[in-house]
């Protein structure tokens, strides 16, 4: 059983790990989109691994005690990054393609809006 201060440290470390969510790139370049897609895959992998490691016991003869519980979330986060960098799940490619498709649709809509504003037409 963990004491209150150890549980608070563990919760803080876990919250910091989950706060590092990928963001939609503002510049929209293919490299930025690919990077965001890889970050998304890393967070996804981390979410998949978290329940597996939450069931391990850090008590007993070979357990790491309270420190193991604190650093475990950081280890899971690094495992997620490694999985994503290697493309093990293949999610990043699909996400990047969808993000590029959305960006193309948005730029097409913006171009149509600009063109209709320039000519004075109202599109419905």
HEC sequence for the chain? CCCHHHHHHHHHHHHHHHHCCCCCCCCCCHHHHHHHHHHHHHHHHHHHHHHHHHCCCCCCCCCCHHHHHHHHHHHHHHHHHHHHHHCCCCHHHHHHHHHHHHHHHHHHHHHHHHHHHHHCCCCC
Classify residue 67: in a domain, yes or no: no
Classify residue 96: in a domain, yes or no: yes
Q: Which range marks the domain in which residue 98 is found?
A: 28-48+72-82+90-106
Residues of the chain with pLDDT under 70: 1-3, 9, 13-28, 57-64, 119-124
Q: What is the pLDDT of residue 78?
A: 93
Q: What is the pLDDT of residue 122?
A: 55
Q: What is the pLDDT of residue 31?
A: 86
Classify residue 56: in a domain, yes or no: no
Classify residue 77: in a domain, yes or no: yes
Report how many domains make up the chain.
1
Q: What is the pLDDT of residue 7?
A: 72
Classify residue 15: in a domain, yes or no: no
Q: What is the pLDDT of residue 45?
A: 93
Classify residue 40: in a domain, yes or no: yes
């Amino acid at each position: 059983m963990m004491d209150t201060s150890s549980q608070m440290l563990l919760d803080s470390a876990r919250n910091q790990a989950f706060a590092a969510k990928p963001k939609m790139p503002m510049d929209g370049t293919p490299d930025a989109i690919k990077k965001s897609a890889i970050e998304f895959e890393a967070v996804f992998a981390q979410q998949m691994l978290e329940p597996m490691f939450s069931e391990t016991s850090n008590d007993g003869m070979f357990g790491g005690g309270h420190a193991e519980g604190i650093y475990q979330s950081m280890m899971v986060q690094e495992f997620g990054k490694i999985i994503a960098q290697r493309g093990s799940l293949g999610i990043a490619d699909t996400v990047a393609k969808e993000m590029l498709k959305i960006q193309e649709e948005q730029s097409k809509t913006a171009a149509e809006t600009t063109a209709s504003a320039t000519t004075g037409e109202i599109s419905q």
